[in-house]
A and B are shown apart, each in its own frame.
Chain A
Amino acid sequence: MATATRPADERLRSAGVLRKLLNRPELGAVAGAILVFAFFAVVAGDDGFLTSTGTISYLEVSAQLGIIVIPVAMLMIAGEFDLSVGSMIGAAGILIALPTAEFGWPMWSALLLAFAVALLVGFINGYLVVTTGLPSFIVTLAMLFALRGATIGFTRLITGRTQVSGVQSEGFLAGIFGGEVAGIPVSILWWVLLGALGTWILLRTTFGNWIFGTGGDPVAARNVGVPVRRVKILLFMATSASATLLAAITVLDAGSADVLRGTLREFQAIIATVIGGVLLTGGYGSVIGPMFGALIFGMVSQGIFFTGVNTDWFQVFLGVMLLIAVLVNNYIRKKASEAR
């Protein structure tokens, strides 16, 4: 409509598609995903990697990491870490399973409770970080242990065990958190939906601009009027909420919860985010890149399974990938900021 007339400035379009592409933070992860796919298509193609079952299986593994990777990436762009997401998955799972299985709460009320606690945990993380000025690495590391400990402690106190099973659910809630739509597990749909939402927020909204500013230089951002504290606190709340969403999906799928669920997820999320081209120190990155990081994670963990190689080697692969990703990202970013 009114936006039909844009001032044409063709002077820079000739700068080259390649250069523009190199400037994209997600390039490395997309290239990596293609490489990994090609590798397993050749090596494990005959063992079921390319079948629709195989595809769904690695996409589901990717989604179960990817759902939390999206807000974790946005938080990292804003310059902070959240190491407590793994513990939050365990805690939220118990908060959903225990009231429904042990006390007969309706599912919706247990979900409400879990999300309320998650938002509170996220708020506490964020509030402590912005008021104490301590690195979020430390604050959320403390939360990692405190939350996991509390989850184990309370569950054992109430049930005498560390697992809660017998969670029943049907109807609407079971449909949006569990089950399948046209043969596709809902976790995959949540992942793609949240990825689209995250990308839109980051690139198309005022809040997205504030996220980049907050991570790029918090003092400068505050000086030009960005509510830096609010941005950080909201993102900490988003990471906790995503952990709870993942917990809801797994509990409704498995019908049970385990206090140890989500262990090491925080590190896997950070690995996927860094592979996805997000700058560890904040201010640069995307949501798409980390989504491809999660995809690589899913493809490799399932691909190794299909090839029949001992899955112990998966951890080695993750460690090596992380190092390579950081080196490649550093190089690309240096090239990007030299592009005059």
Chain B
Amino acid sequence: MTDSATTPLIEAQGISKYFGQVIALQDISMRVSAGEVMCLLGDNGAGKSTLIKILSGVHQHDDGRLLMEGEEVKFTSPREALDRGIATVFQDLATIPLMSISRNFFLGREPTKGGGPFKRFDAATADRVTREEMHRIGIDVRDPSQPVGTLSGGERQSVAIARAVYFGAKVLILDEPTSALGVKEAAVVLRYIAQAKERNLGVIFITHNVHHAYPIGDRFTILNRGQSYGTFEKSEVTREEVVTMMAGGEEMDKLTAELEEFERSDRETERRGPNGGSHLADAFREDAEEIQHGEGREKA
């Protein structure tokens, strides 16, 4: 799958964003092509969320150019970006607590039935699709008319993810989508990303978890204090280098120690896996393998 030679789905060229005095982004360039997972990495406050908010129409950039399929665009509202097939899971999830799960799921993209003055919200379809999509992500919705505010943090995150996956036609943007999820649910999300890639979507994936980023990412763009640290192909970097870059290349000594900790826990998981009774660990291992080996390649 090396069609990176074709026009990228979405491309930022030297984008800057200012909030009054604050320089949130300075001269950022990045791109994502169809069938590609681009991981956006960086410390807290590096500007990752600000960048993807520009791509999804929440903010407008002050400098630089934004290209969608080679054509310069400036989204004035998230609705425009959605209409172009860009769906986003925002870090704060963008759900309305007092509205039901299915109304939240379809808010802004409502299914309708009837025509003319009798065109109306198709509640039955909304409930059915919501239940199906939530089931696919591993959440059994008891009642789609239940307010979202009564769901747990992870369940709420699942609603936001299922919604974006359902509506994302070309580009899927996920801002720390696994932060509140359990091991099993996180694995499902990673599998979603792999599926989206197979369906030839472009995926932008923000995470602080290298175990999530490294197996699935094709390229890594690193932000540091509002500036770009560069973009790296997976073949160019090791997992350890990615971890270093995620922290902005600082504090190498401390990080080395942390890395050893990572490796130890990795080994432990492996050791426990085959004969340990934990379904969760098994499920996660299978998912991780599936993702690593990519599309349909079976282990001999």
Contact = CB atoms under 8 A, between A and B. Distances in A.
Contact of A204 (B77, B92, B121): B121
B98 A222 contact: no
Contacts of A219: 94
B78 A223 contact: yes
A223 B59 CA distance: 10
Interface string A250-284: 00000000000000000000000000000100011
B106 A209 contact: yes
Interface residues of B, number: 37
Given A9-B131, A213-B107, A227-B79, 8 more contacts: A12-B142, A209-B107, A223-B78, A223-B90, A224-B108, A224-B109, A224-B163, A279-B98
B45 interface: no
A131 interface: no
A216 B128 CA distance: 24
B97 A216 contact: yes
Give the most central of B90, B120, B163: most A CB within 10 Å: B120
A205 interface: yes
Interface residues of A, number: 35
B156 to A, nearest CB: 11
B103 A209 contact: yes
A7 B131 contact: yes
Interface in A97-137: none
A231 B101 CA distance: 21
B96 A216 contact: yes
B209 interface: no
A217 interface: yes
A340 B155 CA distance: 13
Interface of A: 3, 6-7, 9, 11-12, 15, 200, 204-206, 208-210, 212-213, 216-217, 219-227, 279, 283-284, 336-340
Contact of B107 (A7, A200, A224): A224
Contacts of B142: 11-12
A249 B121 CA distance: 33
B77 A227 contact: yes
B82 A225 contact: yes
Contacts of A338: 150
A220 B94 contact: yes
B99 A213 contact: yes
A11 to B, nearest CB: 6
A224 B94 contact: yes
Give the most central of B58, B82, B110, B123: most A CB within 10 Å: B110
Contacts of A210: 107-108
Nearest to A213: B107
12 contacts: A9-B131, A12-B142, A206-B120, A209-B103, A209-B106, A209-B107, A212-B103, A213-B96, A222-B58, A225-B107, A284-B98, A339-B150
Contact of A220 (B92, B128, B146): B92
